[in-house]
Amino acid sequence: MSFQDKEDPKTLVLFDVDGTLTPARLEVSDEMRETLVKLRKKVVIGFVGGSDLSKQVEQLGATVLDDFDYCFSENGLTAYRLGKELASASFIGWLGDEKYNKLVKFILRYLSDIDIPVRRGTFIEFRNGMINVSPVGRNASTKERNEFEIYDKQHNIRSKLVDALKENFADYGLTYSIGGQISFDVFPTGWDKTYCLQHVEAENFKEIHFFGDKSYKGGNDYEIYNDERTIGHAVESPADTMRILNEIFKL
């Protein structure tokens, strides 16, 4: 399908994933799928998530690259247009191994010194456009995730580590974003979700809508939601996303 086949090829609608298209870390519903199929006939659609592509495939389905016009993983550091991969920068290329090693050593030392009730595997996940740091570890089960999230609300494990990183690596030019339940993302300042907008610049869209559930200050949708190039829609759940889409685009 080319953009020209759509009713309004000059409108782009972008979505955050967790909490906007799907419940956090869970799969998209049939109702949302049907809504997106209808929407895609009218306008250009895409998603922009902090997670890497493999997790978005788990949540949005194996055919995700065919189901969206634009797929932006890791805030757009991994990017596809109509199923074809677009060129992007990398976190390690930007930071360099020497600085990266110092950062990793600090994080692992810090994590080994704190007291938390449960530890599983993969405390640092290395991605193309960022690293993801998790005190409990990315191998935590759903139950362990939920328990860590509650524990973290009481003990501020993640925000204290973020503060320590800001203090010790002030000259690194990094941004720390707590977007999910058990971890936070670390990426070069400016490589937030607005990064993906450079991939759509050449299309000269008349309107770019963005839907996200974490549009408040400190949330990982904040920058793109407030960007002057987008029309931001703050949502509370996937059901809320569908309600607003039906209102605006008369699906």
Task: Catalog residues that contact ligand M1P under the rule CB under 6 A.
Answer: 17-18, 25, 49-51, 55, 132, 179-183, 185, 220
For residues 174 and 213, what is the distance between their CA atoms, to the nearest angstrom? 23
Beta-bridge mates of residue 126: 131
Closest approach of ligand M1P to the CB of residue 122, in Å = 10
Are 78 and 84 in contact, with CB atoms under 8 Å apart?
no
Strand partners, 210: 14, 232
Q: Which residue is nearest to ligand M1P (CB)?
A: 180
Nearer CB in complex with ligand M1P: 69/185: 185
Pairing of strands 44-48, 174-177: unpaired
73, two tokens = 């993983």
Catalytic residue among 5, 18, 171, 227: 18
- Which residue lies nearer to ligand M1P by CB, 11 or 51? 51
Whether residue 109 contacts residue 142, with contact meaning beta carbons closer than 8 Å, is answered with no
Known active-site residue 18: yes
Q: What SS3 class is residue 99?
A: helix
| 66 part of the active site | no
The residue annotated as part of the active site, out of 5, 8, 16, 52, is 16
Taking the least distance from each CB to ligand M1P, the nearer of 43 and 197 is 197
In whole angstroms, the minimum distance from the beta carbon of 31 to ligand M1P comes to: 21
Backbone Cα Rg of the chain:
18
In the complex with ligand M1P, which residue's Cβ is closer, 54 or 112? 54
In the bound complex, what is the minimum distance in angstroms from residue 180's beta carbon to ligand M1P? Answer: 2
Sheet architecture: strand order including 184-188: 124-126, 131-133, 184-188, 174-177
71 exposure class (CB count in 10 Å sphere: 0-12, 13-18, 19+): buried
Contacts of 198 (CB under 8 A, 6+ apart): 76
Q: What is the DSSP letter of 29?
A: P
CB of 9 to ligand M1P, least distance (A): 28
Closer residue to ligand M1P, CB minimum distance, 50 or 188? 50
- Alpha carbons 11 and 44: distance in angstroms, whole number: 6
State the nearest-atom distance from the C-beta of 179 to ligand M1P, in Å: 3
> Catalytic site residues?
16, 18
